[in-house]
Amino acid sequence: MSKPHLKSRPQALRQALQEQTRAAYREAILDAAERVFLSDGFQSAKMVDVAEGTGVSVGTLYNYFDSKDAVFQALVDRHRTRYFDMLCAPFLSDGATSQLRELIGRTLSFIETNGALFAIYLRSTTPILDGSMGSTPAINPAEDNERYMAILAKLLEGGVSDGIIRKDIPVDELVWTLHSLIHAAVLEWVGSSERKSLVARGQFLVQLFLEGASQK
Protein backbone atom coordinates (compact mmCIF):
# COMPACT_ATOMS: atom_id res chain seq x y z
CA MET A 1 0.00 0.00 0.00
CA SER A 2 1.15 3.51 -0.70
CA LYS A 3 1.84 5.84 2.21
CA PRO A 4 0.82 9.33 1.06
CA HIS A 5 1.38 10.75 4.51
CA LEU A 6 5.12 10.12 4.10
CA LYS A 7 5.16 12.11 0.88
CA SER A 8 3.45 15.04 2.62
CA ARG A 9 6.06 15.32 5.36
CA PRO A 10 8.46 17.65 3.45
CA GLN A 11 5.56 19.95 2.62
CA ALA A 12 4.34 19.91 6.23
CA LEU A 13 7.86 20.67 7.44
CA ARG A 14 8.18 23.58 5.03
CA GLN A 15 4.84 24.92 6.18
CA ALA A 16 5.84 24.62 9.84
CA LEU A 17 9.12 26.45 9.18
CA GLN A 18 7.28 29.18 7.27
CA GLU A 19 4.86 29.64 10.15
CA GLN A 20 7.73 29.84 12.65
CA THR A 21 9.53 32.37 10.48
CA ARG A 22 6.40 34.45 10.07
CA ALA A 23 5.77 34.37 13.83
CA ALA A 24 9.37 35.45 14.49
CA TYR A 25 9.07 38.35 12.04
CA ARG A 26 5.80 39.40 13.65
CA GLU A 27 7.35 39.46 17.11
CA ALA A 28 10.33 41.43 15.78
CA ILE A 29 7.96 43.98 14.23
CA LEU A 30 6.10 44.38 17.53
CA ASP A 31 9.37 44.78 19.44
CA ALA A 32 10.47 47.51 17.03
CA ALA A 33 7.05 49.16 17.09
CA GLU A 34 7.11 49.35 20.87
CA ARG A 35 10.48 51.11 20.77
CA VAL A 36 9.23 53.56 18.13
CA PHE A 37 5.96 54.31 19.92
CA LEU A 38 7.76 54.92 23.20
CA SER A 39 10.38 57.11 21.52
CA ASP A 40 8.21 59.14 19.14
CA GLY A 41 4.70 58.76 20.56
CA PHE A 42 1.88 57.00 18.77
CA GLN A 43 0.69 60.04 16.82
CA SER A 44 4.15 60.90 15.45
CA ALA A 45 5.30 57.35 14.74
CA LYS A 46 5.31 56.19 11.13
CA MET A 47 5.19 52.77 9.57
CA VAL A 48 8.48 53.47 7.82
CA ASP A 49 10.09 53.97 11.24
CA VAL A 50 8.74 50.62 12.41
CA ALA A 51 10.03 48.96 9.23
CA GLU A 52 13.49 50.48 9.68
CA GLY A 53 13.55 49.42 13.32
CA THR A 54 12.71 45.87 12.31
CA GLY A 55 15.14 45.77 9.39
CA VAL A 56 12.50 45.01 6.76
CA SER A 57 11.04 46.96 3.87
CA VAL A 58 7.80 48.88 4.27
CA GLY A 59 6.23 46.49 1.77
CA THR A 60 7.18 43.52 3.93
CA LEU A 61 5.77 45.29 6.99
CA TYR A 62 2.42 45.71 5.24
CA ASN A 63 2.35 41.97 4.60
CA TYR A 64 1.96 41.58 8.36
CA PHE A 65 -0.01 44.67 9.38
CA ASP A 66 -2.17 46.87 7.19
CA SER A 67 -1.90 50.00 9.34
CA LYS A 68 -0.20 51.61 12.32
CA ASP A 69 -3.42 51.11 14.29
CA ALA A 70 -3.25 47.37 13.58
CA VAL A 71 0.34 47.26 14.84
CA PHE A 72 -0.62 49.04 18.04
CA GLN A 73 -3.65 46.81 18.55
CA ALA A 74 -1.44 43.72 18.20
CA LEU A 75 1.06 45.22 20.64
CA VAL A 76 -1.69 45.89 23.19
CA ASP A 77 -3.06 42.37 22.69
CA ARG A 78 0.38 40.89 23.34
CA HIS A 79 0.79 42.81 26.58
CA ARG A 80 -2.79 42.04 27.58
CA THR A 81 -2.07 38.32 27.19
CA ARG A 82 1.08 38.61 29.30
CA TYR A 83 -0.81 40.66 31.87
CA PHE A 84 -3.58 38.12 32.41
CA ASP A 85 -1.14 35.21 32.31
CA MET A 86 0.64 36.95 35.17
CA LEU A 87 -2.58 37.61 37.07
CA CYS A 88 -3.82 34.04 36.67
CA ALA A 89 -0.56 32.44 37.79
CA PRO A 90 -0.82 30.43 41.04
CA PHE A 91 -0.59 32.51 44.20
CA LEU A 92 2.45 32.14 46.40
CA SER A 93 0.46 32.89 49.55
CA ASP A 94 -2.55 31.35 51.31
CA GLY A 95 -5.65 33.12 52.54
CA ALA A 96 -7.96 35.51 50.72
CA THR A 97 -6.51 38.77 52.04
CA SER A 98 -2.91 37.69 51.46
CA GLN A 99 -3.77 36.67 47.91
CA LEU A 100 -5.60 39.97 47.41
CA ARG A 101 -2.45 41.85 48.40
CA GLU A 102 -0.42 39.64 46.06
CA LEU A 103 -2.83 40.20 43.17
CA ILE A 104 -2.74 43.97 43.49
CA GLY A 105 1.03 43.88 43.93
CA ARG A 106 1.34 41.94 40.68
CA THR A 107 -1.01 44.34 38.92
CA LEU A 108 0.81 47.49 39.93
CA SER A 109 4.24 45.95 39.37
CA PHE A 110 3.28 45.06 35.80
CA ILE A 111 1.94 48.56 35.16
CA GLU A 112 5.01 50.18 36.72
CA THR A 113 7.36 48.02 34.62
CA ASN A 114 5.45 48.82 31.42
CA GLY A 115 4.47 52.32 32.46
CA ALA A 116 5.33 54.25 29.32
CA LEU A 117 3.48 51.91 27.00
CA PHE A 118 0.59 51.69 29.46
CA ALA A 119 0.29 55.48 29.34
CA ILE A 120 -0.01 55.32 25.54
CA TYR A 121 -2.67 52.63 25.93
CA LEU A 122 -4.65 54.77 28.39
CA ARG A 123 -4.47 57.75 26.06
CA SER A 124 -5.99 55.61 23.32
CA THR A 125 -8.90 54.62 25.58
CA THR A 126 -9.37 57.62 27.91
CA PRO A 127 -9.99 60.95 26.11
CA ILE A 128 -9.59 62.96 29.32
CA LEU A 129 -5.86 62.15 29.37
CA ASP A 130 -5.25 63.38 25.85
CA GLY A 131 -7.34 66.10 24.26
CA SER A 132 -6.48 64.96 20.73
CA MET A 133 -7.41 61.37 20.07
CA GLY A 134 -6.31 61.51 16.45
CA SER A 135 -6.40 58.12 14.75
CA THR A 136 -5.59 55.98 17.78
CA PRO A 137 -7.06 52.48 17.68
CA ALA A 138 -10.60 51.84 18.92
CA ILE A 139 -9.80 49.75 22.01
CA ASN A 140 -12.46 49.00 24.61
CA PRO A 141 -10.98 48.11 28.00
CA ALA A 142 -14.37 47.13 29.47
CA GLU A 143 -13.72 43.41 29.00
CA ASP A 144 -10.35 43.68 30.76
CA ASN A 145 -11.97 45.50 33.68
CA GLU A 146 -14.68 42.86 33.96
CA ARG A 147 -12.10 40.06 34.03
CA TYR A 148 -10.07 41.85 36.67
CA MET A 149 -13.11 42.63 38.80
CA ALA A 150 -14.17 38.98 38.61
CA ILE A 151 -10.82 37.97 40.12
CA LEU A 152 -11.24 40.57 42.87
CA ALA A 153 -14.77 39.32 43.55
CA LYS A 154 -13.62 35.73 43.92
CA LEU A 155 -10.97 36.68 46.47
CA LEU A 156 -13.30 38.94 48.44
CA GLU A 157 -16.01 36.26 48.46
CA GLY A 158 -13.38 33.91 49.89
CA GLY A 159 -12.64 36.47 52.57
CA VAL A 160 -16.34 36.71 53.46
CA SER A 161 -16.59 32.91 53.64
CA ASP A 162 -13.56 32.79 55.93
CA GLY A 163 -15.07 35.43 58.21
CA ILE A 164 -12.29 37.92 57.43
CA ILE A 165 -14.24 40.33 55.23
CA ARG A 166 -17.41 41.94 56.57
CA LYS A 167 -20.77 40.64 55.33
CA ASP A 168 -22.89 43.77 55.77
CA ILE A 169 -21.55 45.31 52.52
CA PRO A 170 -22.33 43.48 49.25
CA VAL A 171 -19.25 42.00 47.60
CA ASP A 172 -19.96 43.82 44.34
CA GLU A 173 -19.79 47.14 46.24
CA LEU A 174 -16.49 46.14 47.81
CA VAL A 175 -15.17 45.17 44.38
CA TRP A 176 -16.28 48.48 42.89
CA THR A 177 -14.64 50.43 45.73
CA LEU A 178 -11.32 48.61 45.55
CA HIS A 179 -11.22 48.69 41.74
CA SER A 180 -11.97 52.43 41.78
CA LEU A 181 -9.13 53.04 44.24
CA ILE A 182 -6.69 51.07 42.08
CA HIS A 183 -7.86 52.82 38.91
CA ALA A 184 -7.50 56.27 40.50
CA ALA A 185 -4.01 55.42 41.77
CA VAL A 186 -2.91 54.26 38.31
CA LEU A 187 -4.31 57.36 36.57
CA GLU A 188 -2.61 59.64 39.09
CA TRP A 189 0.68 57.76 38.68
CA VAL A 190 0.54 57.90 34.88
CA GLY A 191 -0.16 61.63 34.90
CA SER A 192 2.46 62.46 37.54
CA SER A 193 5.94 63.67 36.64
CA GLU A 194 7.39 62.32 39.90
CA ARG A 195 6.47 58.67 39.26
CA LYS A 196 6.85 57.48 42.86
CA SER A 197 6.67 53.75 43.35
CA LEU A 198 3.21 52.60 42.32
CA VAL A 199 3.74 49.26 44.07
CA ALA A 200 4.62 50.93 47.39
CA ARG A 201 1.61 53.21 47.20
CA GLY A 202 -0.56 50.23 46.34
CA GLN A 203 0.43 48.55 49.59
CA PHE A 204 -0.91 51.52 51.58
CA LEU A 205 -4.06 51.56 49.46
CA VAL A 206 -4.78 47.89 50.11
CA GLN A 207 -4.07 48.28 53.82
CA LEU A 208 -6.55 51.15 54.13
CA PHE A 209 -9.16 49.23 52.15
CA LEU A 210 -8.79 46.08 54.22
CA GLU A 211 -9.00 48.02 57.48
CA GLY A 212 -12.39 49.29 56.36
CA ALA A 213 -13.54 46.00 54.84
CA SER A 214 -12.36 43.66 57.57
CA GLN A 215 -14.81 41.88 59.82
CA LYS A 216 -14.63 43.51 63.26
Structural domain total, the chain? 2
Tens digits of residue pLDDT in 60-93: 999 999 999 899 889 888 888 888 899 899 999 9
Contact partners, residue 25, CB within 8 Å, separation at least 6? 54, 56, 60, 64
Indicate if 26 and 114 belong to the same structural domain.
Answer: no
- Range with the poorest average pLDDT among 10-14, 102-106, 119-123, 184-188: 119-123
| 95 and 4 within one domain | no
Are 154 and 174 members of one domain?
A: yes
What is the per-residue pLDDT across 204-216, written as a single tens digit (0 to 9) for each? 999 999 998 887 6
62 and 79 share one domain: no
- Considering the domain architecture, whether residues 112 and 195 belong to the same structural domain is answered as yes
Please state, in angstroms and rounded to a whole number, the distance separating the CA atoms of residues 161 and 81: 31
Q: Give the residue from 23, 39, 66 where a domain finishes.
A: 66
135 — pLDDT class (breaks 50, 70, 90): very low
The proportion of the chain whose per-residue pLDDT surpasses 90, expressed as a percent, equals: 40
Gap between the Cα atoms of 156 and 174, Å rounded: 8
Clarify whether residues 102 and 190 are in a common domain: yes
SS (HEC) of 55-113? CCCHHHHHHHCCCHHHHHHHHHHHHHHHHHHHHCCCCCCCCHHHHHHHHHHHHHHHHHH
- What are the phi and psi torsion angles at 124 (to 5°)? -85, -10
User: Which CATH number characterizes residue 13's domain?
Assistant: 1.10.10.60
Mean pLDDT score of the chain, rounded to an integer?
A: 82
27, 33, 34, 39: CA torsion to nearest 10: 160
* 111 and 12 together in one domain: no
Cβ atoms of 107 and 159 within 8 Å: the answer is no
CATH classification of the domain holding 134: 1.10.357.10
* 3-state SS assignment for residue 165: strand
Q: Tell me which residue range forms the domain holding 17.
A: 1-66
